[in-house]
Structures are given as structure tokens and as C-alpha cells.
Structure 1
């Protein structure tokens, strides 16, 4: 981000809401949003990235100097893209010359996109700009361009609760504006009745699972939560190595790992190790593995949130919206991970604080309904109220702050 302070000051009255779509699914959702939300006469437009006008002026400027903060932000995004591609199965076999050329070409593309988006934003400075996620390459360049001109943004995403979505004035996942202080949630007054709070139906435990185990969900390697928000664990093989080290240290402990079903990586090599304490499970529901685990160790998966809903102890190895002291146990190196597991039995989960945290997310922060799976009338109604507050300069009030 080009700034970390003063974001609230950006949210003044906006005349329009413009939604930037970088994919077909995003365009479909944003088009539906324009038809379903009511914003007191404010204009709402959905714009595909391909509809932003081609700009010869931006093309000619790709070799001209940029402000240092912009250049650093662009180079950072190119580096992120390069590292993400390198970590993929296809990318691991590429020669160094390929990546040097890749970085050069993508830097030129990023500079052109920045110039193109900047010209478009300059013509729409009276608008609030909505973007999906904001961390993928084109969206991230748009965010840099908007921030450089101090145009307010809101970020859309599914989550952080299962079956919910969000619109946030700062970002999504680890970038979200949610407080990371446990005292905020200890003092929070939940207005939901117990029967209204999010919970899972009990799932029977399969007989072939260990009697007691720690559950570790693998994640998609190319997901932004790994390449952006995981300074320690760079891929799932690195995660497996840490679990191997734990197994050696805690010879009595059993570990259950489930690869992510959407990840194309082939983990046959580590599965075939047949470690006596590490069990790979491919055919059981994640919620079953969560409910019957002694605890969950995760980098920053959404499974960590599911574990909190199930009132499980969660050890967090990366940067996560739920990764802070008092709610979970954040760790950033092997010695801290070993210590956290060693203290697991004496760690008392503050269930009241966990309940309040989940209640805040459900009641004040998130929007009912998965934006990508047939949003309901309730979804559009809640979203309308939040977007109206954002357009009226009260973006933080829209998330209960």
C-alpha cells in the first residue's frame, strides 16, 4: 500500500460507485450488483478491465521516470507475480534467463497499466471505486493508481466466514480493517441470540482417524494468502517439513494433513513417505477433520476460521485476519511452533472472546451470502446499506467501527 495512515480521511461524499471487474465472474457479480442495490440516487457502474480505454499516452510513458513510491509499488507487484509463477509446477523448470525476461516484460506491462488506469481514474475522481480482492496483478496496479490520486476504494471478497462475503475499506484477508486487539472483542457486545450465531452441525468421526490428532490443512500454493501473507512458509512442502520436525520432537503426537482439493500440485512424493505419525486424508470432509482435532495448525487458511467456529485451538504460521494473541496462537519460526504445541494442553481457549469475535464478523462486518454463489435478497439488502455508508463517507461505520 502507498500509505498506511489517513485512510479514513479519504472517505468523503462520493457521487458514484464504479466497480472494476478483472474476470468474468467478477463482471457477473458486479453487473448483478448494479441491478439489485439501492443507493439513494447514486450512479453505480460496472466496468470490465477491457472497457477502460486504450491510452497511447500511457504507452509512450512506460520508459519515463515514475515517482519513487509508485515505481517501488509496481516493482513489488511484478516481484510478487514472478515469485508466484516460479512456485507453480510449470514455473519450477524455467531457466533464469526466462525469469529475467519475464520481469522486464511484466514491468513494462505494469507501467502501461498504471498509466492507463491513472488516466481513467483522473476522469472519475468523484467516484468510489470498488475492486474484487485487490491483490491480483491488474487489480493491484489499479489500486496503486487510485491510491496515488487519493481516490477512495472498497474491496470485495467472499468470506471471512463460510457462506458470507465482505466489502472492506482497506482490503481483504490480512489487509482487512478488522481490529486485531483481543480487548476490542472482550468488550464487544454481541446482539445475536445463541441460536442465530454461526455453528456447524456435528459430524461423526470416521473410525480410521487417529484417536487424537492435530489437523493441518494444505493451501493452494498460488493463492495470495501464501505468496503475500506467508513470510515463513513458502509452499506446502515447506509446511510438511515443519510438521516432520514436530513429529520428531513430539513422538506421541499424530498429525492429519488434507491437501487442498483445488490445488494442482502433486504431493505423491511426500505422501509416499508413509511417516508413522503423519496421515494424509483425501476423502473426508474438512469440517469432520476440524471437529475431531485436538487443535489446528494452519498458515492462514479459511479452515482456521472454521476451527474457531468449532471452538478449536488454532496455531497460525502466517499472517491472517484471525492471527493475533488472545484469539489464536501466532508463530513465526520453528522454535515458537514447538513451544506452542508443547503448551497446547495448558492453553485455555477464551471461548467468550472467540464468540464475540465471530459475532462481530457475522453481525457488523460480513454480508450474508456467498457473492459468487447466487446472492440472496438479504445479501443485496445488507450490501446496499454498507455501500450507502461508504458513499456517504462513513466506510468504517459500515463495518461497525
Structure 2
């Protein structure tokens, strides 16, 4: 089985070297994505490869339409050059499967598109859905992944699994922890320009909008319930206006010095766009409401809302002590642990990680029907 792994960062290069060493295969090759000349590509192909990067720039309020058009044209040139480089490398090695970290950047999407053009399955790697795991999926990452969305699939799933009950904080809290209300719903903010917000959040387009929608909904919810927000530790936005408003509001709080795990454990529910904090809440048996597109927003696992009215209903039920039932929460998590995630973080993979990954690569090749015969036919 010939495996070709394309890296686009030092992090990905380190992980792919670990895969090569851990699989102990002479046919695992690493290569930078690189740049090279390429033939003209259809506009639709270039638009798809640059969609996320263009959306990131378009979200900047200081960028004029003219500058955005210029930037888009530059992105499309780079998409074509990345495509040309990886297409050439794939044709030279003739791999059975390729891999790349992430799913949305111009260089990553160029790898995906070149692999598709040559009929090669492409494994996309990302931080795992469960703590201390890794995602390896040929369909996509985040909402695009291959996690089944049919509730009946989980209703039939009965295999148990050992689940994590404690999480490594993304960044250790600094300073003294702020006081928390007795009863609250936790609202984790997300990175403003992340694909989770730009691509998978149809009606909430920013953390400010998230805050004001929830503030408006809270007005019609019984008094004891508060909302506690925590900015994402990797987001550079200061949220100064929101902080000033929360400081004068009796039931809204923005905190920095609590871990997400502690905030989940004390909450009566978590409302999120599609954050991985939602998965952590499921692991701690905490009700979850998703306002964006999330692979875990499945009836019986987590609730989903596309309107303020539904948010108010969910908050009201929590305030009255009647959270929605989630009978499929545990089967969903057990299936993730048993069948979907690759055990172990990409930062320190060990033998169980490589065994599961080897099987995942083999399944991708088998499903695609790819191999020497396919390349012989292509030649």
C-alpha cells in the first residue's frame, strides 16, 4: 500500500514523520505541498479551492471590494500552482492513498482536488472529536465528515466503550477565577475567522451576533437562569463592547479564568454554534443546543436551532428543570470511540494509533477500488 502524505506546516510534517515511522512501511512518502506550473483549471474548481480563504478575507470590515477581488485572484493563482505541484508528485509516485492535514485551506483543497482528479482516496487529518484523539476521514472534517446523522443508526448501536471524563485545557486559566451564578447556561465563544463560523454557521455569523441573540432570548426566560460566556483562548478579538455590556447586566457574564471543563460541569446546558466544547458537554452528560451545523447535532444526541424562538424554548425548559431527553447521547459517543476516532493525539501517537490508522488507510483503498491495476489502466 503506497501512501503519500502532503504537509503544509511543521506540525503536519512532524505528525506525518511519526506516521511513516510508526507504520514502518517503506512505501510511505512525505512531500511538501509546494508550488508548480499547472494548466488552466475551470473557474468552479478554483472557486471551491479558495472558498474558505476568500471568506476569511471577506469577513474583515477594513477590506475594500477592490482589494478583495485582487486577493481572490492571487488566491486562485496559488490554488492552481499548488494543484500543479501535488498533481505532478502524485503521478510520479502513483500512491494508493494520499493524506493531508485539515480540509479547507487553499493548499489542502488543492491536494483534495488533485487526488479526486486522479481517482485517489484522500485522507484528511484533524484534531479528533474526542479528547486525545485524531480524525482521519476521506470525506471531510468537522461538519463535512462521515459521521452518520441518522438517529436510527445510534438507536441500534449497543457496543460499550470507555469514554474520557477529564480534558486537557486548551490554555491554562490565568488569574483568579471569577464568581459564577448558581444556575447558568455556558456559551463558549469560537474563533471568529474559523471555518466552523464562516462555513458552517448559516444564521449566526459572529460572536457579537451570538451574544446579542442569546441576550434577547434570555429576556423571556425565568429569572434564576444566567448565561456565562467564555472567549476562545485562540481568538484575538477582545470583545470589549460585549464585556462592557455584560459588566452591567445582572444575568450575563463573560469570564476568562475558568476552564471549559469546570464551566460545563457547573452548567445546566451548553449552547454553541458547533464547537468541540459541545462534544465535551455530551461526555459530561450536559444538554447541548447547536445553532450552527455540527456533526453531533443529531436528534436524541443534541438539540439544534435555526431561530430565536427555538432557543427561547430550550432555555425555558432548562430554567424549569426539564431539559430535552438525549437517549442517543451515549450510543453516539460509544460509536465515536469504537469506530471513528483514531486513539491518541497527533502530538504523541503510539502503537494503537498506528494500528487503527493502518486499517483506516486500507479501508479507504479498498472502498475506492484503487491499486496498481487502476494506475495501469490510467497509463
Question: 1:105-124 counterparts in 2 under 5 A?
Answer: 105-124=74-93
**Secondary structure, in 3 states, of the residue corresponding to 1:249?**
coil
**Secondary structure, in 3 states, of the residue corresponding to 1:272?**
helix
Rounded to whole Å, the distance in 1 between the matches of 2:140 and 2:56 is 20
More displaced stretch, 272-281 vs 94-103: 94-103
Q: What is the TM-score when the length of structure 1 is the normalising length?
A: 0.82
**Secondary structure, in 3 states, of the residue corresponding to 2:61?**
helix
Rounded to whole Å, the distance in 2 between the matches of 1:255 and 1:110 is 43
Alpha-carbon offset, residue 339 of structure 1: 2.9
Match of 1:247 among 213, 218, 222: 218
**Secondary structure, in 3 states, of the residue corresponding to 1:287?**
helix
Gaps of 5+ in 2: 168-176, 370-379
**Secondary structure, in 3 states, of the residue corresponding to 2:219?**
helix
**Secondary structure, in 3 states, of the residue corresponding to 2:98?**
strand
Please tell me whether the aligned partners of residues 218 and 312 of structure 2 are also in contact (alpha carbons under 8 angstroms): no
Alpha-carbon offset, residue 111 of structure 1: 2.7
Q: Is the aligned partner of 1:236 residue 2:207?
A: yes
Q: Is the aligned partner of 1:356 residue 2:340?
A: no
* Alignment CA distance shift 1:217-1:207 (3 Å): closer
Question: For residue 373 of structure 2, what is the aligned residue in structure 1?
Answer: none
Alpha-carbon offset, residue 394 of structure 1: 8.0
Alpha-carbon offset, residue 340 of structure 1: 2.8
Rounded to whole Å, the distance in 2 between the matches of 1:297 and 1:76 is 30
Match of 2:342 among 347, 363, 367: 367
Please tell me whether the aligned partners of residues 200 and 309 of structure 1 are also in contact (alpha carbons under 8 angstroms): no
Alpha-carbon offset, residue 298 of structure 1: 0.2
Question: For residue 101 of structure 2, what is the aligned residue in structure 1?
Answer: 132
**Secondary structure, in 3 states, of the residue corresponding to 2:123?**
strand
Match of 2:146 among 177, 183, 197: 177
Question: 1:1-400 counterparts in 2 under 5 A?
Answer: 15-38=1-24, 43-50=27-34, 55-56=36-37, 58=38, 61-62=39-40, 66-67=41-42, 71-87=43-59, 91-192=60-161, 196-200=162-166, 208-250=179-221, 252=223, 253-273=225-245, 274=247, 275-344=249-318, 345-351=321-327, 353-371=328-346, 373-393=347-367
Rounded to whole Å, the distance in 1 between the matches of 2:266 and 2:118 is 50
**Secondary structure, in 3 states, of the residue corresponding to 1:93?**
coil
Alpha-carbon offset, residue 125 of structure 1: 4.4
Rounded to whole Å, the distance in 2 between the matches of 1:342 and 1:117 is 53
What does the per-residue CA deviation read over 1:119-155, in whole Å, with 9 as the maximum and x for residues that have no partner?
A: 3334444421111122222101221222233221111
Question: For residue 6 of structure 1, what is the aligned residue in structure 2?
Answer: none
Rounded to whole Å, the distance in 2 between the matches of 1:239 and 1:358 is 27
Rounded to whole Å, the distance in 2 between the matches of 1:209 and 1:100 is 46
* Alignment CA distance shift 1:82-1:207 (3 Å): closer
Alpha-carbon offset, residue 380 of structure 1: 2.4
Give the aligned length: 355
CA RMSD, Structure 1 to Structure 2 (Å): 2.2
Q: What is the TM-score when the length of structure 2 is the normalising length?
A: 0.87
* Alignment CA distance shift 1:106-1:190 (3 Å): same
What does the per-residue CA deviation read over 1:26-54, in whole Å, with 9 as the maximum and x for residues that have no partner?
A: 01100111011146xx711111113xxx5
Rounded to whole Å, the distance in 1 between the matches of 2:221 and 2:284 is 25
Rounded to whole Å, the distance in 2 between the matches of 1:77 and 1:391 is 24
